[in-house]
Amino acid sequence: MFYKKKGYPEIGEVVMCTVKRVLPHSVFVNLDEYEKEAMLHISEVSPGRIRNIRDYVKEGKKAICKILRINREKGYIDLSLRRVSPMQKINKNKEYKQEQKAGKILENISKELKIDLKQVHEEVLGKVLENYDSLNSAFLDVVNGSLKLEELNIKSDIAKKLTELVKEKIKIPEVSITGNFKLQNFQSEGIDVIKKILIKAKSIDKTSIKITYLGSSKYKLNIKSKDYKEAESLLKKVTEFTLDEIKKSKGVGEFIRND
């Protein structure tokens, strides 16, 4: 990570860390995205009994952790490794690599325009982070056409070249969220009732929603989108609609998300 975010992370935030020191019952790490040090207690490394903490973490290696507690007065940050789900690890790795790639684009701008990298950071990074959480999120808006870098008061020559490179190097990723419905209706036409409900659910967004019958009253839901927040919003709409409708039909249902 070529730059650090200001302030503290949020409780519950998943962060990339570099292991600094490993002690018998605790681990001290640097937060890659913040100018902060944090502590990971052995009880938050892995479920169950740990014989040797070094089987899980090693100095100099990366670790993806979740923020548990923050004491701003003392500057303490407590982490958990065991509470990070496999999907959260995958998503964080992707996010981290995308931000590194975005940083490389600024390095290329520095070389091509023969401008000091520090000056490029001041001209671009500072203005982007006043409006966006990350450099990559701004670049995605450039690609989809919802942001012109000149709108951030970035110098026209830098903005023009940066826009060209961003559109060449950055591709909009596709987000996929999956989970399983278990739907039951015990009336004589129960199966038809469920089918009609799922057809209506899919019609919320036919291009992004796919529902597949798995057998034994189970149905797989797959949502694909170019935007994570949009995918989450769509997931909420589909699941709430489906479960409300199955309840109205005097049936029962549940949804289990695949993390």
Q: What is the pLDDT of residue 44?
A: 97
Closest CA to 181 of 137, 138, 211: 211
Residue identified by tokens 């290329």 is: 108
The partner residues of 176 in beta bridges, in order of sequence, read 224
Predicted confidence band of residue 68 (pLDDT cuts 50, 70, 90): very high
pLDDT digits (tens, 9 = 90+) for 202-219: 999 988 999 999 999 999
- Distances 17 to 37, 43, 47, 95, 233 between C-alpha atoms, Å: 9, 18, 20, 14, 29
Quick check: 63 and 17 in contact, CB under 8 A?
yes
| Separation of alpha carbons 128 and 124, rounded Å | 6
Whether 108 contacts 73, CB under 8 Å = no
Question: Which pLDDT value is given to residue 2?
Answer: 60
Determine the pLDDT at residue 8: 94
Cβ atoms of 193 and 229 within 8 Å: the answer is: no
Residue 144: count other Cβ atoms within 10 Å of its Cβ.
Answer: 11
pTM: 0.65
Q: Which long-range contacts (CB under 8 A, 24 or more apart) does 196-204 make?
A: 197/242, 197/245, 197/246, 197/249, 198/242, 200/241, 200/245, 201/238, 201/241, 201/242, 201/245, 204/234, 204/237, 204/238, 204/241
Query: Which domains are seen in the chain, by residue range?
Result: 14-84 (2.40.50.140), 87-169 (1.10.150.190), 175-258 (3.30.70.1130)
Residues paired with residue 257 on neighbouring β-strands, in sequence order: 179
Kindly tell me if the per-residue pLDDT of 226 is higher than 70: yes
Give the residue, 183 or 188, on which the prediction is more confident. Answer: 183
CB 65 within 8 A of CB 14: yes
Strand pairing class (175-184; 252-258):
antiparallel
